[in-house]
Structure 1
Amino acid sequence: MIIYKTFSFDSAHYLPLVPIGHKCGGMHGHTYTLKVFISGDPEPHSGWVIDYTDLKNGIRPLIEMLDHKVLNDIPGLENPTSEQLSIWLWNRVKPIFPGLIRIELNETQSSGVIYEG
């Protein structure tokens, strides 16, 4: 079984490696949507894979690191593309939730990345 929880955060960034004049080279912001997918068998006693509150509490510190921040200022995110941000998130979520199987990160309603480790 796979469960998921959706989070959102607002961050600014710029992409230093794009060609000169590219619109993403300048500082701009996004309201990101993050979906975290956890796989596992429902526990016999509780009937759930994981308590959604535990998932929320485990992800909250990461969201606090990113929300209303400039992503380029965060170590490891000097070139904060959605792809790099999803890897950064994966590397921090997987040790907390070993059942992590997928991260979906949208920077707009119509564009995003899926990362499965």
Structure 2
Amino acid sequence: MMHQLYPQVAHHYRYELNKDMQIAAAHFIPHEAAGRCANVHGHTYIVNVTVAGDELDESGFLVNFQTLKKLVHGKLDHTLLNDHTDWFDRYDPNRFPTTEVVARTIYEIVQGYLDALPHKPKCLQVFVRESPTSYVVYRPKAGER
């Protein structure tokens, strides 16, 4: 995987962890305004998840890299995103598998996992590159972190 620099989030936490993943997946956008993207097509997505916190867990991790990979890569790699009806919805534009929604949904899944940890790390941003020239960054608003 090519090393990349990602937009940074200013924060006050002691630790910042970044996990890169490459996900091969197909999708389609179920709306006539999507043009050619309404047809099934695939991408090799590059995903970066940024997690921060002040405390480490009992094993010395902010969060285990393998856990992040399982939550995201393990779910989405080599799949049709539209088939994940627990993450995406063909009738609600806020849940179409656009790159914006993919980034937000990954954030929601990761943060949901982190919320259950006793040391309470936070997901600061999710970066999803769909192609060499197109990417989305999702960050919760400051009050939502």
- TM class, shorter-chain normalised? 0.7 to 0.9
> What is the RMSD computed on CA atoms of the aligned residues?
2.3
2:122 aligned residue? 99
- Percent identical among aligned pairs is 26
TM-score (norm 1): 0.81
Q: 2:52, 2:62 within 8 Å by CA — same for their partners in 1?
A: no
* 2:17 maps to 1:3: yes
The 8 Å contact of residues 18 and 24 in structure 1, kept in 2 or not, is answered as no
**Pairing 1:40–2:50 present:** no
* 1:17 paired residue number: 31
Counterparts of 2:18 and 2:72, CA distance in 1: 16
* Contact preservation (8 Å) 1:2, 1:39: yes
What's the secondary structure of 1:58's corresponding residue?
Answer: helix
What secondary structure sits across from 1:57 in the alignment? helix
Alignment length (residue pairs): 112
Structure 1 residue runs without a partner (length 5+): none
